[in-house]
Structure 1
Amino acid sequence: MEEVRTDPISTQRNVILGLLIALCAGAWAWLAWQGAGMHRHPGSPMASPTMGMQAPLFVAMWMVMTVAMMFPTAAPMLLTFHKTQENKRRGGQAFVATWAFLAGYMIVWLLSGVAAYIGAVAFEAFASRAAFSAETTNRFGGAILFAAGLYQLTPIKDMCLSKCRTPLSFIMTSWRDGVMGAVQMGAIHGAYCLGCCWLLCAIMFPLGMMNLAVLATVTVVVFAEKTLPQARLLAQATAVILTVGGALMIAAPDALSTFVEG
């Protein structure tokens, strides 16, 4: 009887993809549960930029959001990296290096979460000291939307997006050997990913950090920008929507009101 041999490369890729899907699904389930809990308690500070969270909890939530929103877009890069590693070294080493790459990627998003919390706390303190009304705060939210729309048209957005859209090209031009090299490559890719998406993530502050519709929309836009052929056209369409929405929010802050006076 002929023995059936499994392809270790294919098996490892399936394991990696399966784990990414499981982590992503778990993250979305947690976000849905947390969002439902906030809606059940109207008195919770959902509209606050920090949502009343201390730094560790806020950063933990940010990382869960990163897993939910960014893992689908990072998967092609991660699988391409693993395949390239397989061609250079033994399977076990490639498997470890792939997760080291992901660790480097997540470190960048961890640091972005810390920066987001510092920015949110600073804004809350400034708004409290200046006694901002809900309308004024909403106008600041509109300015974030407007800025995010303009950023969609900038050369740095285009450059970062092009790096994210071409996994093999990125890996060949950014290659570093060893596990620490994989961490560095993951961090570099994370920086390009952050450069591509940071203002799209920032619009969640005025539109609702736990608003699942907003989270899902941003996820779809980011995924489409990185995978569909007409990425530039999509970025331009998103720019129009965000700038128009931001302008409306500035002109009529009650139109897209998210912050309310306590």
Structure 2
Amino acid sequence: MAPTLQRNVILALLIVIAAAAWALLVWQRIGNDADMRMEMYSPTMGMKAPLFLAVWMIMMVAMMFPTAAPMILTFHQVQAGKQGRGETFVSTWVFVAGYLLVWGVMGILAFAGAAGSEMLAEHVGLSTATAARIGGALLMIVGAYQLSPLKDLCLAKCRTPVGFILTSWRDGQWGAVRMGLEHGLFCLGCCWLLFLALFPLGIMNVAAMAVVTLLVFAEKTRPSGERIAKVSGVALLLYGTAVLVFPQALPTFQPADAMMMN
């Protein structure tokens, strides 16, 4: 198969897999009854760890495959060149597996944090307004991170696939896995707090997921990506501040009487 055709096939597969993941998320969101939709706004979505992790990975495929596509295609281009010279070829999907492993570990940590926060909230007896204000504070932390030097460092690595290849190349199967892990860690450093922002916004809030996906894609691929990150940071700081004053501004806010009825 010609290298250009191989590249197009990989790109098409990434698009199809991401689209299928989005379709599953939308179907799950609109296909449940009202009681289930109430649970989907809780940190764990009312799920046990295995199901939560499965949904988390579907979310990561839907949201991160479009943004990781330039790096994945660059890795394949280098491997295709090596194959053309008669050198050892490593499948691009080995690199993708290492990349997804990082997000899988993040999903385990996210579930532990979500379950712990639910237990703490139940034990302390937080009011809905207090819980919403905690969410507002988290949004402010996300906004502050968007303006931080660490965000700039990780974003720079994610914005330059060729630079990553030149500085982090490893040969062989395990080398590809290691590269996937390393790029996944940079990607995690760039985006992890944006994903944590989904907890106060609604972990299965499809509109919020779409906004985060577009934001991450713009940060990584647009010439003004770094400026976009800064603007989003200021917007999150302002929104978080507004939630502290008006907790009803948070999509997951539930009035006390509505909670009692449910």
- In structure 2, the partner of 1:3 is none
1:179-220 alpha-carbon deviations (Å, 9 max, x no partner): 110000001000000100001111110111111110100000
Cα distance in 1 for residues equivalent to 2:20 and 2:253 = 29
How big is the alpha-carbon RMSD for the aligned residues of Structure 1 and Structure 2?
1.5
Aligned length: 254
Cα distance in 2 for residues equivalent to 1:207 and 1:42 = 18
Cα distance in 1 for residues equivalent to 2:202 and 2:161 = 32
* Counterpart check, 1:217 vs 2:211: yes
- In structure 2, the partner of 1:200 is 194
Q: TM-score, normalised by structure 1?
A: 0.93
Cα pair 2:247 2:253 within 8 Å, conserved: no
Letter in 2 for 1:99: W
**% of aligned pairs identical?**
53
- In structure 2, the partner of 1:29 is 23
- In structure 1, the partner of 2:83 is 89
1:129 to 123, 130, 133: 123
Cα distance in 2 for residues equivalent to 1:169 and 1:92 = 22
1:68-109 alpha-carbon deviations (Å, 9 max, x no partner): 000001000000011111222358964x43110000000000
- In structure 1, the partner of 2:252 is 258
Letter in 2 for 1:41: A
Deviates more, 1:165-174 or 1:12-21: 12-21
Q: Give the drift of 1:257.
A: 4.6
1:3-36 alpha-carbon deviations (Å, 9 max, x no partner): xxxx621121111111111100100000000110
1:227 to 221, 226, 244: 221
2:43 to 32, 45, 49: 49
Cα distance in 2 for residues equivalent to 1:99 and 1:229 = 28
- In structure 2, the partner of 1:4 is none
Cα pair 1:97 1:178 within 8 Å, conserved: no
- In structure 1, the partner of 2:93 is 99
Letter in 1 for 2:157: K
Give unmatched runs, 5+ long, in structure 2.
none
Q: Give the drift of 1:255.
A: 2.2
